[in-house]
Amino acid sequence: MKTTIYLSSAYWAPVQYYTKLYACDDIYVEQCDHYVKQTYRNRCVIAAADGPLVLTVPTEKSETPKCLMKDVRISDHGNWRHIHWNALVAAYRNSPFFEYYADDFRVFYEKKYTFLWDYNQEICSLVCDLINIRPHIKRTKDYHAELAPHEADFREMIHPKRDWSETDPTFCPKPYYQVFDAKYGFLPNLSIADLLFNMGPESLIVLRDSVEGINPKK
């Protein structure tokens, strides 16, 4: 894997995303791309009692056909904060570390954020603190379609509609305990929230063991 990578912004990003934050030296999170729906920019996938559940943050319609990610505004439509928090509680209240992290997570459903970019980055910052990783993250100032030879582009590679097993050979998800694994078996590459609630401090070990074929940072 290249030591410098580009990632899209993401809402409670999947485990694959955080393996990049763990393993790579320099990370650029893209804020100058055109916002695209049905991506991890505004959605995450958790393990609920009925199987994988998609949670989507609604966004306001842009006045222009193409809106930059940094300018995307969160909508209050549909009481989504209440719905998302209740979904997380229902899915993870019986997980080993839910009570330990619940107050940290609840804040993001009590405080209103204007911009999706800010919301996602504050979530990411919290998660990195909880997992105890210190990635060198920078925001892009311009959009670069062509990257240098030492840089890797995961902006559209980490995507809910792309099969990580075919597109990312460096990601080999390490199975870990999940609340509903007796019912559904292990569900790989769910939201980082799933990993944290189920594994707590050992989340770092899972990330480390999910990186294939490189020498990750210690």
Our separate counts of H helices and E strands in the chain read 8, 6
In a domain, 214, yes or no: no
In a domain, 96, yes or no: yes
In a domain, 63, yes or no: yes
Q: Tens digits of per-residue pLDDT, 8-54?
A: 999 999 999 999 999 998 999 999 999 998 999 999 999 999 999 99
Count of domains in the chain? 1
Measured between alpha carbons, how far is 117 from 115 in angstroms, rounded to an integer? 5
Q: Tens digits of per-residue pLDDT, 43-81?
A: 999 999 999 999 999 999 887 778 999 999 999 988 999
58 and 80 Cβ atoms separated by less than 8 Å: yes
- Expressed as residue numbers, the domain containing 176 is 4-209
Which H or E run includes 215?
none
Whole-model pTM: value is 0.94
